[in-house]
């Protein structure tokens, strides 16, 4: 079945190319049909591959598909090859199945947009790049996919580029992630010069023998690249603004897949990161800070998509915390559940936004529970999973797994994580109560179509039950997920204090929901956002934007203004001027007058003799 | 003064060469320019012969013979061009208008 | 001997100076013949009798006569002399003279700094025998190349002069002034 593996990448790529070549001439329905077909094929092949791989002989190892020799320069060689092991299998399934559902939803969401072909060109190209990223067995191929998803993110955030804020948000996302991409690339080059190869197997095999400072530096740079992609502090400022894109984009790129690419990358290279505990600790600290900062910022947002964006950052912080604590299974498990429930939340939010005239302020919604019940229940399931309500949500199990691991590394991390979970349950249910309860402040119009319902319902069911594949020992001896990943990460370490931690972790979200209900339960007076200097700072991302504006943007603009005349081009202009004038001068010599030529020859001879004598 | 001393002969050659060059640069008539070129070729030949005498070798005269052959070929072609120009209506043989290559 | 060398050289230089300043082509050619004969004497004085004879026979004899024939064919009259005079007047001399002077000075300085005294005292002249041996010994290839050059010169001279006075060239006015109306037709066909 190895022949089918490249098709996981090729199917979306082919759709993208067809749509690109059609130049929007295809009718909207045909475009949607093509996308659904291509992505459906991609998902079906991915599932088939997964089943054959897990039942096949190599199910604990890895399946290599070498497509061609990419380059062989000097001592450096790279192959264009795909690897299917249990980690990339999980990622491939997430990308293709969740991607399929989101693109199906996007068909309904974008059907009225005149640029639907362009939208799906980017979206399918994104899926292809993401599949390449997770499947490539060579870090160079990973980098190609990494840049591909970055470009698609830029194009899709600025999809409605006629409005200036959207274009600016796209630029910001691109520039900030580019910092990380540059770090990542430098890290890769460092590894390439140090190790000589970039295929992941060789790198991991040689890394223990390599000098430790070089490995530490490479890990640090790769962590920097991953942090920028995943919107970790201090490179987190782009993600809230990236919500300017269409909502399916936020669901697919900025919640389910691209932002988790960094988590995947670090998990993929975990053997190398294990060599440098300092970088691991840094990773945990970054995740810890981000999860608290983002949760705090999400408390006061008024835009429903920004609430979800900050919650994404916060949940990614949990994943980085898990990675830093060496809980690889927990990180990947949370990645999967997060992809499910966050995609669900974004799609629910998208359905609401579509119905209420593209209003995104939750304080202008309200009472939507009755007018759009399916969306309400789906959103509720997603919110429960995000808050980590015990037993009935997928997020509960994955988050508990992370918190338990964090407790075993440092109790402070555990404490922060629980506090983050507390904040999470407050802010998401604040959003739920304000949006779905109380009086209607905007009357929804139209209907939510069946094409939107299908992905919503599927993901809602998954968000409730998917957590049961991996449960703590106290509740039930279910270890499907960690067993699945055991060949890659090794067996799950022994954990202590499970029962007590679990109890606290289960009670905290319920308390949070209760507080949210107490604060935002329906009253006669419509709720209004809090307006204090403190909340304003929080709402503006703790002032990071303003800080970066003063630290980087303003000086850069000042420099640019200083160099308005462009010194560099002035130099080249001078070169061009000298050449042109000299040429004109010498052109006069070429007069066709024999006597002048003789004169020039004489002058040249004199000069040459003067130099020679 | 030694007749085999190449210095005097070379000085004569230099003066002749410069005079020939001056002629090429000054005269506008193509015929005179050709004559001046002949002068320059002769000067070069004189230099070769002086050098041959200095080292007492036949090579200098061989080179002079070569120059002779070149001068003959050059004179043949140059004079043909002069005749052609004249016949084509440029009776003045003005080299300054020679860049209008018609005829 | 050395006095004669200088004397012949002086004659050659003076005659050459006359050549480049004459307005009448025939005068210039005659001075040129004088200069060539003086040069032949210089060659002989330098111990190169074969070269001296060739200078007389080929240069003064053949090439110069060719020039004279051409001048006769061109049928240059007094208007041409007037024109030459006008062409040679005034500032036209300034820049070429400066250039020539510069070249002269640099060459002479180079000569003074680079000249080496003679090593052979009163050696016998180099006769035709030695020259012939050198010519058909080590220089045989050069001779062949020269023959190619002469052949090429012959062919091109023939080609250029092919149709002079024939079809396609407008007839000449008796005093040498062209009266053709279709100058652009004077192209080889």
Q: Do A613 and C102 touch (CB under 8 A)?
A: no
Question: Which one has a higher pLDDT value, A184 or C82?
Answer: A184
Cβ distance C119 to B88 less than 8 Å, yes or no, reads no
A546 in the same domain as A471: no
Q: How far apart are CA A473 and CA C42, in angstroms?
A: 121
Burial class, A35, CB count within 10 angstroms (exposed 0-12 / middle 13-18 / buried 19+): buried
| Cross-chain residue pair A602–C99, CB shorter than 8 Å | yes
Distance from CA of A560 to the nearest CA of B (A): 53
Residue C169 inside a domain? The answer is yes
**Position with higher pLDDT, A330 vs A358:** A330
Which 127-146 residues of chain C touch chain B by CB within 8 A? 130-131, 133-135, 139, 142, 146
pLDDT class of B46 with cuts at 50, 70, 90: very high
Mean pLDDT computed over every residue of chain C: 80
What's the pLDDT score for residue A523? 77
Predicted local confidence at residue C174, as pLDDT = 45
Q: Is B97 part of the contact surface with chain C (CB cutoff 8 Å)?
A: no
| Contact status of A594 with chain C (Cβ, < 8 Å) | no
Q: What is the pLDDT of residue C117?
A: 65
C188 found inside a domain: no
Domains of chain B, CATH where assigned: 6-93 (1.10.287.3510)
CATH at residue C55: 1.20.120.1200
CB-hemisphere CA count at 13 Å for A56? 16
Asked if B13 contacts B47 with a C-beta cutoff of 8 angstroms, the reply is yes
Whether residue A362 is predicted with pLDDT greater than 90 in this model: the reply is no
Cα A55 to chain centroid, rounded: 31
pLDDT tens-place string over residues C13-47: 999 999 988 888 888 999 999 999 999 999 988 88
Q: Who has greater pLDDT, C93 or A514?
A: A514
What are the residue ranges of helices labelled H in A23-98? 28-55, 86-93
Whether residue A282 sits in one domain with residue A266: no
Q: Is C36 on the interface with B (CB under 8 A)?
A: yes
- Residue A19: Cβ within 10 Å count: 25
| A599–B25 C-beta distance less than 8 A | yes
What is the percent of chain A where pLDDT is above 70?
A: 99
Q: Which among C73, C154, C178 has the least Cβ separation from residue B83?
A: C73
**How many interchain CB pairs under 8 A, A with C?**
26
Chain A CA closest to residue B97: A593
* Pairwise pLDDT comparison (A542 vs A575), residue with the higher score: A575
Kindly tell me if the per-residue pLDDT of C171 is higher than 50. no
Q: Which two tokens stand for residue A531?
A: 């307006």
Give chain A's largest Cα–Cα span. Answer: 107
Residue C76 has pLDDT above 70, yes or no: no
Q: Nearest CA of chain A to the CA of C92: how many Å?
A: 11
Within 10 Å of residue A358's Cβ, how many Cβ atoms?
7
Q: Given an 8 Å threshold on Cβ–Cβ distance, is B53 in contact with C46?
A: yes
Chain C residues with CB inside 8 Å of A609's CB? Answer: 103, 106-107, 110
Cα–Cα–Cα angle for A227, A232, A237, rounded to 5 degrees: 115
Considering the domain architecture, whether residues A554 and A586 belong to the same structural domain is answered as no
Chain B CA closest to residue C178: B89
Q: Are residues A267 and A288 in the same domain?
A: no
- pLDDT digits 0-9 by tens, B17-41: 999 999 988 888 888 899 999 999 9
ipTM computed for the complex: 0.88
> Does residue A42 or residue A25 have the better pLDDT?
A42
Place of tokens 């199990």: A397
Helical (H) or strand (E) element with A78:
strand A76-84
Claim to verify: residue A373 and residue A321 sit in the same structural domain:
yes
Cβ contacts of B43 on chain A, cutoff 8 Å: none
Residue B75, chain A, CB below 8 Å: the answer is: no
Give the pLDDT score at A485: 84
C interface with A, Cβ–Cβ < 8 A, is 95-96, 99-100, 102-103, 106-107, 109-110, 113-114
Residue B2 at interface with chain A, using a CB cutoff of 8 Å: no
CA distance A389 to A193: 48
Contact residues on chain C for B55, CB-CB shorter than 8 A: 119-120
Q: Are residues A458 and A498 in the same domain?
A: yes
Q: Do C73 and C8 belong together in one domain?
A: yes
- Per CB-CB distance under 8 Å, the chain A contacts of B24 are 595, 598
Q: Which residues of B touch C158 (CB under 8 A)?
A: 80
User: What average pLDDT does the segment A594-611 reach?
Assistant: 86
Q: Is residue A594 less than 8 Å (CB to CB) from chain B?
A: yes
C97 CB neighbours in chain B (<8 A) are: 22
Which residues of B fall within a CB distance of 8 Å from C48?
49, 52-53, 60-61, 64
Instruction: Read off the tokens for A230.
Output: 């995943």
Final residue before a domain boundary, out of A213, A240, A271: A271
Q: What are phi and psi of A83, to 5 degrees?
A: -125, 130
Please report the pLDDT score of residue C118 as a whole number: 61
Q: Is the pLDDT of residue A79 over 80?
A: yes
Residue A197 pLDDT class (50, 70, 90 cuts):
confident
Q: Rounded to whole angstroms, how far apart are CA atoms B39 and B75?
A: 12
C150·B72 Cβ contact <8 A: yes
Does residue C186 or residue A436 have the better pLDDT?
A: A436
Domain residue limits at A122: 1-271
Query: Is residue A603 within 8 angstroms of chain C, CB to CB?
Result: yes
For the cut 90, the answer to whether the pLDDT of residue C151 exceeds it is yes
Are A110 and A166 found together in one domain?
Answer: yes
Instruction: For residue C109, give the chain A residue with the closest CA.
Output: A613
Q: What is the count of structural domains for chain A?
A: 4
Neighbours of chain C (3+ CB pairs under 8 A): A, B
Phi/psi for C160 (5° steps) reads -65, -40
CB pair distance less than 8 Å for B77 and C156? yes
State the angle between helix axes of A86-93 and A261-268 in degrees (0 to 180), rounded to the nearest 10.
Answer: 170
**Per the confidence metrics, is the pTM higher than 0.80?**
no
Do residues A398 and A516 both lie within one domain? yes
pLDDT (0 to 100) of residue C95: 84
Task: Check whether A200 has a pLDDT greater than 80.
Answer: yes
- The subunits that touch chain B, with at least 3 C-beta pairs less than 8 Å apart, are A, C
**Could you read off the pLDDT of A310-329 as tens digits, one per residue?**
999 999 999 999 999 888 98
Residue C36 falls inside a structural domain: yes
Residues in chain A closer than 8 A to B27 (CB atoms): 595
- Residues A108 and A138 sit within 8 Å (Cβ to Cβ): no
Q: Pick from A599, A606, A612: which is nearest to C95 by CB?
A: A599
Q: Are residues A481 and A545 in the same domain?
A: no
pLDDT at C179 over 90: no
Which of C82, C102, C130 lies at the terminal end of a domain, its last residue? C82
CA gap A449, A278 in Å, rounded: 51
Residue range A264-279, pLDDT digits in tens? 999 999 888 988 999 9
If asked whether residues A138 and A229 sit together in one domain, one would say yes
For A503-518, what is the mean pLDDT?
Answer: 89
Q: Among the three residues A218, A239, A271, which one is the final residue of a domain in this structure?
A: A271
Concatenate the DSSP letters of all residues of A141-167 into one string. HHHHHHHHHHHHHHHHHTTTTTSHHHH
For the cut 80, the answer to whether the pLDDT of residue A494 exceeds it is no
Domain range for residue C60? Answer: 1-82
| Low-confidence winner among A84-93, A103-112, B28-37, C174-183 (lowest mean pLDDT) | C174-183
Per-residue pLDDT, A476: 75
Average pLDDT over residues A113-120: 89
Select from C82, C104, C121 the last residue of a domain. Answer: C82
Q: CA of B27: which chain A residue's CA is closest? A: A595
Contact A598 B96 (CB under 8 A): no
Query: Looking at beta carbons, which residues of chain A come within 8 Å of C102?
Result: 602-603, 606
Residue of chain C with shortest Cα separation from A609: C106
Residue-level length of chain A = 613
Judge: B25–C96 Cβ closer than 8 Å, yes or no: yes
- A303 secondary structure, DSSP code: B
Last residue within a domain, chosen from C41, C67, C82: C82
Q: Does A592 touch chain B (CB under 8 A)?
A: yes
CB atoms A612 and C110 under 8 Å: yes
**What's the whole-number average pLDDT of chain A?**
87
Q: What is the rounded average pLDDT of the residues A198-207?
A: 85
The distance of B62 to chain A (nearest Cα, Å) reads 26
Task: List all chains that touch chain A, counting a touch as 3 or more CB pairs closer than 8 Å.
Answer: B, C
Among A271, A306, A323, the domain-final residue is A271
CB pairs under 8 A between B and C: 264
pLDDT for residue C78: 66
CA distance C60 to C57: 6
| In a shared domain, residues A85 and A193 | yes
Number of H helices, E strands in chain A: 28, 2
Residue C94 forms part of a structural domain: no
Which residues of chain C does A606 touch, with a Cβ-Cβ cutoff of 8 Å? 99, 102-103, 106
- Chain A with chain B: Cβ pairs closer than 8 A: 24
- Token pair for A389: 């309500």
- The alpha-carbon gap from B100 to the nearest alpha carbon of chain A, in Å, equals 8
Q: What is the pLDDT of residues A555-594, one digit of tens each?
A: 988 988 888 877 888 888 899 999 999 999 888 877 777 8
Residue of C nearest to A612 (CA): C110
Buried b (16+ CB within 10 A) or exposed e, A416-445: bbbebbbbbbbbbbbbbbbbbbbeebbebe
Structural domains in chain C (count): 2
Task: Name chain A contacts of C110, Cβ cutoff 8 Å.
Answer: 609, 612-613
Strands (E), C36-170: none
Instruction: Report the pLDDT value the prediction gives residue C166, as an integer from 0 to 100.
Output: 55
Question: Does residue C116 register a pLDDT over 70?
Answer: no
pLDDT-derived band at A449, boundaries 50, 70, 90: confident
Same domain, yes or no: A183 and A91: yes
Q: Do A599 and C99 touch (CB under 8 A)?
A: yes
Query: pLDDT band for position A146 (50/70/90)?
Result: very high
Query: Residues near A11 by Cβ (< 8 Å), separated by ≥ 6?
Result: A38, A39, A41, A42, A45
């Amino acid at each position: 079945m190895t022949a089918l593996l490249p098709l996981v990448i090729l199917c979306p790529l082919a759709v993208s190319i067809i749509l690109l070549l059609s130049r929007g001439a295809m009718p909207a329905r045909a475009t949607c049909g093509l996308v659904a077909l291509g992505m459906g094929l991609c998902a079906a092949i991915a599932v088939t591959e997964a089943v054959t791989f897990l039942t096949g002989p190599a199910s604990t190892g890895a399946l290599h598909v070498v497509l061609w020799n990419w380059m062989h320069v000097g001592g450096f060689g790279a192959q264009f090859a795909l690897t299917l092991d249990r980690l990339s299998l999980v990622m491939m399934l997430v990308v293709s199945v969740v991607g399929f559902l989101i693109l199906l939803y996007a068909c309904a969401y974008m059907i009225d947009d005149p640029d639907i072909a362009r939208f799906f060109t980017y979206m399918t190209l994104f899926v292809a790049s993401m599949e390449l990223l997770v499947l490539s067995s060579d870090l160079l191929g990973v980098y190609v996919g990494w840049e591909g998803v970055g470009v698609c993110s830029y194009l899709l955030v600025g999809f409605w580029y006629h409005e200036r804020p959207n274009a600016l948000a796209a630029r910001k996302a691109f520039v900030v992630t580019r910092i990380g991409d540059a770090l990542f690339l430098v890290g890769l080059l460092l590894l390439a010069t140090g190790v000589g190869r970039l295929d992941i197997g060789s790198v991991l095999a040689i890394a223990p023998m390599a000098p430790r400072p070089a490995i530490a530096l490479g890990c640090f740079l790769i962590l920097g690249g991953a942090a920028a992609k995943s919107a970790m502090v201090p490179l987190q400022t782009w993600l809230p603004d990236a919500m300017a894109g269409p909502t399916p984009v936020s669901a697919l790129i900025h919640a389910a897949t691209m932002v988790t690419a960094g988590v995947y990358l670090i998990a993929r290279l975990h053997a190398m990161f294990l060599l440098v505990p300092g970088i691991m600790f840094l990773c945990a600290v970054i995740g810890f800070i981000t999860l608290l900062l983002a949760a705090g910022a999400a408390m006061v947002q008024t835009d429903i998509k920004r609430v979800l964006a900050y919650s994404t950052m916060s949940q990614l912080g949990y994943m980085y915390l898990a990675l830093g604590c060496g809980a690889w299974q927990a990180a990947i498990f949370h990645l999967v559940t997060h992809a499910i429930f966050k995609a669900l939340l974004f799609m629910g939010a998208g359905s609401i936004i579509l119905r209420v005239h593209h209003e995104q302020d939750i304080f202008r919604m309200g009472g939507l529970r009755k007018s759009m019940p399916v969306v309400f229940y789906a959103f509720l399931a997603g919110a429960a999973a995000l808050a980590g309500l015990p037993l009935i949500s997928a997020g509960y199990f994955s988050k508990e797994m992370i918190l338990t691991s964090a407790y075993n590394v440092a109790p402070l991390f555990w404490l922060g994580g629980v506090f983050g979970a507390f904040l999470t349950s407050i802010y998401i249910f604040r959003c739920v109560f304000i949006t779905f309860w109380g009086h209607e402040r905007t009357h929804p119009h139209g209907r939510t179509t069946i094409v939107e319902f299908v992905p919503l319902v599927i993901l809602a069911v998954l968000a409730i039950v998917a957590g049961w594949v991996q449960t703590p020992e106290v509740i039930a001896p279910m270890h499907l997920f960690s067993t699945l990943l055991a060949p890659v990460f090794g067996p799950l370490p022994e954990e202590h204090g499970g029962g007590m931690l679990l109890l606290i972790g289960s009670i905290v979200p319920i308390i949070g929901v209760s507080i949210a209900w107490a604060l935002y339960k329906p009253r006669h007076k419509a709720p209004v956002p809090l307006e204090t200097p403190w909340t304003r700072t929080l709402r503006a991302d703790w002032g990071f934007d303003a800080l970066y504006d003063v630290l980087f943007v303003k000086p850069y603009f000042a420099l640019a203004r200083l160099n308005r005349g462009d010194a560099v081009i002035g130099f080249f202009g001078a070169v061009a001027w000298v050449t042109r004038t000299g040429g004109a001068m010498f052109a006069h010599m070429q007069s066709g007058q024999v006597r002048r030529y003789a004169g020039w020859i004489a002058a040249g001879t004199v000069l040459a003799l003067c130099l020679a004598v | 003064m030694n007749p085999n001393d190449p210095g005097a002969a070379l000085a004569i050659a230099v003066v002749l060469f410069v005079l020939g060059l001056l002629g090429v640069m000054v005269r506008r008539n193509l015929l005179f320019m050709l004559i001046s070129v002949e002068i320059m070729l002769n000067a070069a030949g004189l230099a070769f012969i002086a050098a041959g005498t200095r080292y007492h070798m036949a090579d200098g005269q061989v080179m002079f013979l070569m120059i002779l052959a070149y001068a003959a070929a050059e004179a043949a072609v140059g004079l043909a061009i002069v005749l052609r120009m004249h016949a084509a209506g440029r009776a003045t043989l003005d080299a300054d208008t020679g860049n209008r290559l018609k005829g | 001997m050395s006095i004669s060398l200088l004397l012949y050289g002086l004659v050659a230089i003076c005659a050459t100076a006359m050549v480049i300043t004459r307005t009448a082509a025939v005068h210039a050619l005659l001075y040129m013949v004088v200069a060539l004969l003086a040069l032949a004497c210089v060659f002989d004085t330098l111990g190169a009798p074969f070269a001296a004879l060739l200078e007389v026979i080929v240069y003064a004899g053949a090439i110069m006569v060719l020039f004279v024939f051409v001048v006769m064919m061109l049928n240059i009259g007094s208007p041409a002399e007037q024109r030459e005079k006008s062409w040679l007047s005034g500032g036209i001399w300034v820049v070429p003279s400066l250039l020539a002077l510069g070249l002269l000075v640099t060459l002479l300085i180079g000569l003074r700094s680079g000249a080496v005294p003679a090593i052979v005292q009163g050696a016998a002249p180099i006769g035709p025998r030695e020259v012939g041996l050198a010519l058909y010994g080590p220089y045989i290839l050069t001779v062949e190349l020269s023959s190619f050059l002469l052949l090429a010169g012959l062919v091109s001279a023939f080609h250029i002069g092919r149709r002079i006075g024939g079809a396609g060239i407008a007839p000449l006015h008796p005093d040498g002034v062209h009266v053709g109306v279709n100058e652009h037709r004077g192209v080889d066909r």
